[in-house]
Amino acid sequence: MTETATAEPDTQPAASPFERIGGMAVLRAVTDRFYDLMEQEPAYAELRAMHAADLSAMREQLPGFLAGWAGGPRDWFQANPGKCMMSMHAPFPIGQVTAGQWADAMRRALAETEVADREIAEAMADVLTRMAKGMARD
Ligand code: HEM
C-alpha cells in the first residue's frame, strides 16, 4: 500500500499577536508597567509632563487600543469611531525626545512584563518604536 495520504492542511487560523502575547491581562500588565515607568523614571520626565496629572484614564485607554491593534477585541475602536493616532496626538508637541522616551518606556515595559510569547513581544516593541518615532514632528 503506497503512502499517498497527504497530510491534512492545517486549517487552524494563525493565532493573533493579541492571543500570542497572552491576551488582555498581559496587555494591562504591560501598559501598567509603561505608565509606572513614565511616573518613576526621570529619563521620561518630558513625556510625563505632556500627560494629565492622573494617568488612570490612560491606564484604561492604551490597553484597549493595543488589544484591537493586535488583532484582539475592538471595543476601543467601537467606542472611539474615527479616532486616529494623528488626530489623538495633534494637541501635543511630540518631537524626537518625547517620541524616543515613549518608545524606550514601551520597550522596557514589554521586556519587564511576563508574556506568553517573548518573540511576539519583541516584534511589538519594534513596530511600536517605529510608530512612535514616526509621530515626531521636529
Ligand atoms: C510618540 C510618542 C507619544 C507621545 C508623546 C504620546 C502622548 C500622548 C498624550 C500626552 C496623550 C493624552 C494623555 C492624557 O490625556 O493624559 C496620549 C493619548 C493617547 N495615546 Fe499617545 N503618545 C505617543 C505615542 C502613542 C502610540 C505609539 C500609541 C499607540 C500605539 C499611543 C496611544 C494613545 C492613546 C490610545 C491615547 C488616548 C487617546 C484618547 O482616547 O483620546 N500613543 N498620547
* CB-count exposure of residue 27 (10 Å: 0-12, 13-18, 19+): buried
Distance (Å, whole) CA 124 – CA 138: 25
> Do the beta carbons of residue 83 and residue 34 sit within 8 Å?
no
CA 89 / ligand 1 centre spacing (Å): 6
Mean pLDDT of 125-132: 97
CA 91 / ligand 1 centre spacing (Å): 10
Residue 119: pLDDT above 60? yes
Indicate which residue's Cα is closest to atom 13 of ligand 1.
Answer: 51
Tens digits of residue pLDDT in 13-40:
789 999 999 999 999 999 999 999 999 9
User: Is 111 near ligand 1, meaning CB less than 6 Å away?
Assistant: no
CA 16 / ligand 1 centre spacing (Å): 23
Residue type, 76: W
Tens digits of residue pLDDT in 90-117:
999 999 999 999 999 999 999 999 999 9
Distance (Å, whole) CA 51 – CA 68: 22
Domains and CATH numbers, the chain: 17-134 (1.10.490.10)
